[in-house]
Amino acid sequence: MKFKTLTLAAMAMMMALTGCQVEDKSMEKKETTVIDAIMSRRSIRKYKDTPVERELLQTIAECGVNAPNAMNKQEWEVRIVDDAEYLNGVTELMKEGMPFFVKSDEPGFRNGFRNATAIIAVACPDDPMGMTLINIGLMGENMCLAAQELGLGTCVMVGPSAFLSTNEAAKPYLDKLGFSEGYKLRYVLGVGYPDEAPDAKPRDLSKIKFVD
């Protein structure tokens, strides 16, 4: 026991002299990149013309469906579209139906989904309590953070989904998504390799209060 005590003391003295520190493996396990992803994630509205690998899109979608949801009913449906012909076709219709949203005169314009090379369309049914909308909101945040972790950018867009859901000429594109009866398209998540790095917009921390 005496030898063990002397050995530990010697080790402590050596570490003090060399400035080394013993790594606490238990603390290391608690480290996570989730907070970094949350604080660094921005809405991206400029993308490179580089297709996103389907494996990455699948991972993002799987992170989405692993979001918490009421009673684990999973009342959502997800469709991934990376077909340029589909995106361009919807864009041509949006140019006429909602020109205020489609900035086709901007340099490098490619499509009405902020030039994203892929979109993830999310649908859910109505319910009296509105829980399905909360569920897909949680799903969307999961997907945004997963994309951030994978080095991809995202932008949540309601304009294109509203257009697809209400414009008669766009109905074939909506039908192609193949949502189940009773499910409504709620938002579209643009995904792609970012071509910008916008600064964070200020957050009002006074909205946060402790209740004693």
Domains in the chain, CATH or no CATH each: 46-192 (3.40.109.10)
What sign has the CA pseudo-torsion 136, 137, 138, 141? positive
| Whether the predicted pLDDT of 25 surpasses 90 | no
Contact 108, 192 (CB under 8 A): no
pLDDT in tens, 109-140: 999 999 999 999 999 999 999 999 999 999 99
- pTM value > 0.85: no
What does the angle CA 71 – CA 73 – CA 79 come to, to the nearest 5 degrees? 140
- What is the average pLDDT across 178-197? 98
Q: How far is 141 from 76, CA to CA, in rounded Å? A: 14
Helix axes 131-149, 54-65, angle to 10 degrees: 140
Asked whether the beta carbons of 164 and 174 are under 8 A apart, the reply is: yes
End-to-end CA distance of the chain: 50
Two structure tokens written together for 53: 């690998």
Q: What's the pLDDT at 22?
A: 40
- State the Cα–Cα distance between residues 19 and 105, nearest whole angstrom: 59
103 or 60, higher pLDDT: 60
Greater confidence (123 vs 16) lies with 123
pLDDT at 91 over 90: yes
